[in-house]
Amino acid sequence: MSSTSWETKKLSEVADLCLGKMLDQKKNKGEYYPYLANLNVRWGAIEIEDLRKMRFEKKEFERYGLKYGDIVMCEGGEPGRCAIWKNQAPSMMIQKALHRIRAKEKIDSLFLFYALLNKGLQGHYDGYFTGAAIKHLTGEKLAQVEVTLPQYSTQRKIAAVIEVYDDLIENNLKRIKLLEEMAHITYEEWFVRMKYPGHETAIFDEETGLPKSWTKNKISDIGAVITGKTPSTSNEDFYGSDVPFIKTPDIAKAPYVINTDQSLSKLGADSQLNKYLPKNSLVVSCIGTAGEFGFVSEPSQTNQQINAIKFNKDSFVFYMYCFAKHLKPLLEALGSNGATMTNVNKSKFEGIDVVIPNEDLLQDFNELTKNSFESILTLQKKNKLLKEARDILLPRLMSGMIDIEQIELPEAILKQRE
């Protein structure tokens, strides 16, 4: 089917639009329900790990509640960022920072989502933004956004093709989460609840309260702490694509930092050779948003908001990753000092206490979790390739450059959308 037969319509013609509810503790009434905020909506994904709640009345469910297939889009922050709701959690509502976009009859909601996602990734919404310093995509402007639509059956076919990529990515994310949780559960069982192998016969040191042969150390005792640095931004030759340059937002997709918004040239990275971090170095954000942590997946450098640990020996690596999960409140306490922004400098970070078990137990934990983290890294790399392939395919399908009607899809893919 040629794209010349596709129709162009305003978004308000093909979908119902609604902004979420204003958060007002004094005026809001009803029962507490979870809601999505701007920070929960990523490009093509919804994160529900840190949900907030506010009061909603029953009569507000239709206006502010989400149904399967609804599209949620950021009004501010990073306007146009959007994802599709697939009933990831029950009784979900939306806050005012988000638009709810609900496809009308004979409009495939998944196709519409991919069309809007593609526009966002291509920067199409820039011309609709209001505000100078802080950008917004108002409901009035969003309603004017134009979408080009093929016939309904073609919409469904295009959406089915792209969804295959997203389903593979989602399945890999679930496996990553499970593997990481298994490592954390083992850490908690062995080193927090002290139910490690052989604990029944352990002899404790009366002075330290720890099993004998366990030690209290400082972070500086288990590895070199490297505080990152930003090479001169006035030298354009220092920036390129050779060495990943890690900043705090890049760490959010842990365990391994796979993607960075910015990279250095070899010249730029070599201008500060002492800032190089090898694979499996632990990076921890310590200024501003403190406590984000992850592994370096390849030789990299970081900016000055991050402290990293280059471990003295491999047996520390996965133990310290699990330990880092508990660092956030400690870093926030260390770095407050009445200031408006958390700031944990190198010396404070080096001085953090760490309990280290005996070497045999440390090695056992390392061997037990090593394969899991290697699998995680492999899955993250697969997801990177899948996203790249999807993002190449997306604009071609959405523009009709690829004539989907000339492609015969496997029956299983088509049935998945029924």
- The pLDDT of residue 415: 61
Structure token pair of residue 139: 């409901």
pTM of the full predicted structure?
Answer: 0.88
- The pLDDT of residue 414: 58
Q: Quick one: CATH architecture of 3-149? A: Alpha-Beta Complex (3.90)
Query: Among 61-70, 77-86, 218-227, 332-341, where is mean pLDDT lowest?
Result: 332-341
pLDDT tens digit sequence for 92-127 = 999 999 999 999 999 999 999 999 999 999 999 999
Structure token pair of residue 23: 């958060």
Read off φ and ψ for residue 222, nearest 5 degrees: -105, -5
For the chain, count helices (H), then strands (E).
Answer: 13, 21
**348 pLDDT more than 60:** yes
- The pLDDT of residue 339: 63
**405 pLDDT more than 80:** no
- Cis upstream peptide for 255 (omega within 30°): yes
Tell me the average pLDDT across 15-28.
88
Structure token pair of residue 305: 């908001």
pLDDT tens digit sequence for 141-186 = 999 999 999 999 899 999 999 999 999 999 999 999 999 999 999 9
DSSP 43: T
Q: Which residues, in sequence order, are bridge partners of residue 246?
A: 302
- Asked if residue 298 lies in contact with residue 261, where contact means CB atoms within 8 angstroms, the answer is no
Q: Closest Cα partner for 308 from 337, 270, 350, 339?
A: 350
Q: What angle do CA 52, 137, 142 make, to 5 degrees?
A: 110
Burial of 222 from C-beta contacts in 10 A (0-12 / 13-18 / 19+): buried
- Asked if residue 389 lies in contact with residue 166, where contact means CB atoms within 8 angstroms, the answer is no
Rounded to whole angstroms, the Cα distance separating 17 from 100 reads 6
Q: In the structure, what pLDDT confidence band is assigned to residue 406 with cuts at 50, 70 and 90?
A: confident
pLDDT tens digit sequence for 226-284 = 999 999 999 999 999 999 999 999 998 779 999 999 999 999 999 999 999 999 999 99
3 state DSSP class of 354: strand
Q: In the structure, what pLDDT confidence band is assigned to residue 82 with cuts at 50, 70 and 90?
A: very high
Q: Which superfamily, per CATH, for 215-356?
A: DNA methylase specificity domains (3.90.220.20)
Rounded to whole angstroms, the Cα distance separating 250 from 254 reads 8
